[in-house]
Structure 1
Amino acid sequence: GQLSVDTLQFLLFLYVQQVNKVSLRRSLIGEEWPSPRIKSPSLSGKSTSENKNWNDQDHCAFVQSHLLDMLELLLEPEQLTASSHSTHSSVVSYEAVCALSFLIEGTLNKSRTVYPLHELALWQPCHRRNGYSKVSRAFSFSKLESWLRSCLTTNPFGMTACFKSGKKLAWAQQVEGTTKRAKIACNTCVAPAAFPMVIMSQVYKQTLAKSSSTLVGAHVRIHRCNKSFIYLLSPLRSVTIEKCRNSTFVLGPVQASVHVHSCDNVKVIVVCHRLSLSSTTGCTFYILTPTQPLILSGNQAVSFAPFHTHYPMLEDHMAQVGLATLPNYWDSPMLVCKESSDTSIFRLLPPSDFYTFVIPFEMEGDTTETPGGLPHAYRKALSQREQKVQIWQKMVKEAGLTKDQRKQFQILVEKKFYEWLFQTGNHQQLDSLVPPAVGSKQAAG
């Protein structure tokens, strides 16, 4: 079977990339600066330079202002003038409206049931306003444009609405007093079942853990987190990690894609269908994936390593999203950028730098080891390290130390261990692992 895409949908996909187009004129008057990594986005709607990827009002404004161009882009050639513009008699094919469903969907009478645009457009009461003809199976260009403009509104289940009307999430592991700036919300209480969204923004110096039905099948957006450890141990639909630094993200299996953008020094541990990354620096990805990781533009010092952890429900969650241990292309990234000949952008993590990762929460389930195991070189490195520990333990045991010497030796080892914790930053994670409530065995909020 050959792979293919719908031509009209692909045209629209290319066209809407302009939503992030940088205006040099606007940058001269201080409204915009031509660097995607300098903007400090907010979802309040107050800033003129906020990240358009996160603002549903910007999305709606873009479609409103470019609707005419997009409709003309979908017209058959004979419906256009010599200058490639529509006329008063131009008609839009049903196939073109189906393509517009890629961008636009809606509800009837403000219900929570969401329909694609082409289904709404065929609804009998709308025919008079959108100019649909059953004979030609096409729409009047002018009436369709007018109907769309009058009905378009911001996404009521999108990111902006999620923060405004969504439910604040509770967490199994959370250090009180350091979440003042953090914004964490989900829209499952207001959105249809097909649109669950969880948003986490500005989490700072936190260890957060959750495994619950709230996360199952959710689209997760993680934004501007710093010095944090975040565990989302449920099967997820998709994950976007943007503008985060010095943090570790341990994710449940992701059915679709994980996209990491504009992040510095983050670790992502995940089983996912697709991984893509852009504008990252010094990030490490411990992954199990049936597709080649996509390295887009602007990345530096990327490291890839095999997936190296487990939690009791992991294999059940993998089965729920249709992911298996084979094939696994963690070590075969594809460069999809102008630097495609520069393989120094990424490396495979040397086995000498590889350690397994322990998820420090008790849960019910059957998974007791890393699914699929580890590649031979990494297994060998771990085995050699374990042998050194055993030799060390044997040497200490055979040293014949007195009780006082053992006590002094223990104090010295603990001192060195604490020095190592602070040098590596691992003390933060240990300090934030407060004991769960008595009787709780789930990392659920």
Structure 2
Amino acid sequence: MLEEKPEPSTPTAPAPPPALLLRPRREPFEYGLLPISKLIFSDGILTLGPVKEKLLQASPDGRVSETQLAEALQIPPDYACLTIDTLASVLPADPDPNAGADVHDLILFLYIQTYKRLLPRTHKDSAAVADVWPSTSAFDGYLSALSPLQLVRSNSRRFIPSQSDEEAHQLSYLQKHMANIIALLAEPVEGEGDESLVLTSERFEHLGFLIQFGEKGCEGIPLSQATPFFANSDPDMPAAPVPAAQVHDWVSQHITAALEHNAEKAMAKENGPTADLDVTMADAFLNQTRPQSNSSQSGTSMHTTCAYSRSQSFVEGFSKASVVKQTCDIKGHSLKVLNCHDSVIYILAPLRYATVYGCSDTTIVLGAIGKAVRIEHCERVQVITAAKRICIANCRECIFFLGVNQQPLIVGDNHKLQVAPYNTFYAQLEEHMAQIGVVPTVNRWDEPLVLGMVDPHDSLSHPAGVSDAQAESATRLDPDLFTNFLIPNWYGSESPQSTKYNPFPLPEIYLSSQRKKYSILNDVQQALRDIEIEENKKRELACALHVHFKDWLYASGNIRQLYCLQGD
């Protein structure tokens, strides 16, 4: 008779599953870098250590106001406000807007201002690269001679670093600087001096600003619960502080494991096709196409395109197309629109972050964005968005129809930008705005804040021989050119709570212009009704109007929008 084996007991402090890899939080690196020289401390801990102590002395509760920050760093009040607002937009959780910034979060935010997006390795095929790019990498700083459109339309899209490339570089940066970062969070043991630094569980949690544990698209687990020294500690009886050196060793081991994992994936991809969700965005597509009813034109359809990669969705590479994404099409809280040309993109969903990069001659509607929008290296795009904040970098001849709660930030080398008030709505807009906290009664669309022309964090914006000169600002759109933008109601999801009008009040000058246009339109319509001509002449007139309208639809490219409307 076989002896029964006792059931294994459940451990009280289980280690995290081996499948959970350490990941960098992308948001601070993608949306949290400000080109303000006084925020960039190149010597790291030597300067930031005294800054931290100065801030803690000024604010015993550990929360820093805009005034205290401006005084400590000797920066203008509007820069201090921008710094605290930007930090709030990239924190893992929503902070209390009236409580100021946590000192330790702020110090980490200031530390990573030294991050520069330089690709850590050159491309293998240097001859092929030289044939297309004037350098071996899109991050090397030699592409500034190209316009945004030339940059993204070159034949070398594959040389633009992928999400995996960027994540690997963020990990490498953290690996290099983690000892300093942990030292800034640590505190000396009483009576033993700075040589013996320890980290409490509370201080350790601040590292969650920069790193997280999680598998693919999940939000991850609390950082302290992933550690062997803080896991399952009782809030009423916190775990004892841990030596900073021990914490550094543990974090470094996980960063090394994550880098090795990324390298293995990259090698597997080079050796053959793999099921990799973190490959280049162009390779990550999952296409779903719904043909329009009543459309006789071949090749005209409305696309709902989903490309997912760890809590992000992508819309990439569309040309002469209409693209629609609703809430059900979005995975995660972040979306990127990349390399789209001569198209109309509708993102009708609540999101925390959105990026538009390398697009041209395209209209992009971004529903409701609760944290930040970044528009970069675009030409002749129209962006319509309701958002907490927006940053515009290195764009040309673009128009932005904005409903924004914070000042639009303009950085880099921009030309002929225009801003205008928000000009559209869709049925779920106000519901989406309420979900992510965009306030319709506050719209600072016409208060752009302009920083320097050279962004130290983006080597693509470094024009040769140009110093940190003042960047070009944006002008207000002529009210006579302001029009409402119609979003078709494809899915018929109307309800008593549906948004019926633009939720952002229009300034009087734009409202008057609209009324004037409506009046002229009504007069023309009435004149056509009242005209006294023979019936056959009326038919000829209607036919001529239809022909001219059809010619305009084809010439302007708006014929695609007509096909979309047919699906309504």
- TM-score (ref. length: structure 2): 0.61
User: 2:21 aligns to what?
Assistant: none
Q: CA deviation at 1:411?
A: 2.1
Which among 285, 302, 308 is matched to residue 186 of structure 1?
308
| Conserved 8 A contact 1:171-1:209 | no
Which among 326, 333, 337 is matched to residue 218 of structure 1?
333
Q: Hey, what's the Cα distance between the residues in 1 that align with 2:565 and 2:426?
A: 19
> Tell me, what secondary structure is at the counterpart of 1:160?
coil
* Structure 2 counterpart of 1:348, one-letter code: R
* Structure 2 counterpart of 1:160, one-letter code: V
Bigger relative contact order (CA 8 A; separation at least 6): 2
> Tell me, what secondary structure is at the counterpart of 1:352?
helix
User: 2:213 aligns to what?
Assistant: 106
User: 2:163 aligns to what?
Assistant: 55
> Tell me, what secondary structure is at the counterpart of 2:279?
helix
Q: Hey, what's the Cα distance between the residues in 2 that align with 1:96 and 1:19?
A: 30
* Structure 1 counterpart of 2:449, one-letter code: M
Post-superposition CA distance 1:376-415 (Å, at most 9, x none): 1112112111222222233333331101211221122223
Q: Any residues of structure 2 matched to 1:100-139 within 5 Å, and which?
A: 100-107=207-214, 114-115=220-221, 117-123=223-229, 134=240, 136-139=242-245
Q: Any residues of structure 2 matched to 1:138-149 within 5 Å, and which?
A: 138-140=244-246, 143-144=249-250, 147-149=253-255
* Alpha-carbon distance change, 330 to 216 in structure 1, aligned in 2, over 3 angstroms: farther
Q: CA deviation at 1:40?
A: 4.6
Q: CA deviation at 1:356?
A: 0.9
User: 1:346 aligns to what?
Assistant: 474
Q: Hey, what's the Cα distance between the residues in 2 that align with 1:124 and 1:74?
A: 16
| Conserved 8 A contact 1:284-1:305 | yes
| Conserved 8 A contact 2:413-2:453 | no
| Conserved 8 A contact 2:345-2:363 | yes
| Conserved 8 A contact 1:252-1:270 | yes
Post-superposition CA distance 1:147-202 (Å, at most 9, x none): 234432468997538877785555586997589x9974135xxx6xxx3x211110
User: 1:160 aligns to what?
Assistant: 279
User: 1:17 aligns to what?
Assistant: 116
Q: CA deviation at 1:290?
A: 1.1
Which among 316, 320, 334 is matched to residue 449 of structure 2?
334
Post-superposition CA distance 1:20-68 (Å, at most 9, x none): 6999xx99994135126465599x9x95x423xx422342255237623
| Conserved 8 A contact 2:322-2:345 | yes
Q: Hey, what's the Cα distance between the residues in 2 that align with 1:158 and 1:96?
A: 33
Unpaired runs of at least 5, structure 1: 80-88, 126-132
Number of equivalences: 407
Q: CA deviation at 1:229?
A: 0.8
CA RMSD of aligned residues (A): 4.3
Q: Any residues of structure 2 matched to 1:216-295 within 5 Å, and which?
A: 218-295=333-410
User: 2:55 aligns to what?
Assistant: none
1:316 aligns with 2:426: no
1:31 aligns with 2:136: yes
Q: CA deviation at 1:75?
A: 2.8
1:376 aligns with 2:508: yes
Q: CA deviation at 1:345?
A: 3.1
1:3 aligns with 2:100: yes
> Tell me, what secondary structure is at the counterpart of 2:510?
helix
* Alpha-carbon distance change, 406 to 297 in structure 1, aligned in 2, over 3 angstroms: same
Q: CA deviation at 1:288?
A: 0.9
Q: Hey, what's the Cα distance between the residues in 1 that align with 2:333 and 2:289?
A: 16
Q: Indicate the percent of aligned positions where both proteins have the same amino acid.
A: 22
| Conserved 8 A contact 2:289-2:305 | no
**Bigger helix share:** 2
* Alpha-carbon distance change, 31 to 206 in structure 1, aligned in 2, over 3 angstroms: same
* Alpha-carbon distance change, 90 to 40 in structure 1, aligned in 2, over 3 angstroms: farther
Q: CA deviation at 1:97?
A: 4.9
| Conserved 8 A contact 1:8-1:96 | no
* Structure 2 counterpart of 1:378, one-letter code: Y
1:201 aligns with 2:316: yes
Q: Hey, what's the Cα distance between the residues in 2 that align with 1:119 and 1:395?
A: 73
* Alpha-carbon distance change, 346 to 21 in structure 1, aligned in 2, over 3 angstroms: farther
User: 1:129 aligns to what?
Assistant: none
1:433 aligns with 2:564: yes
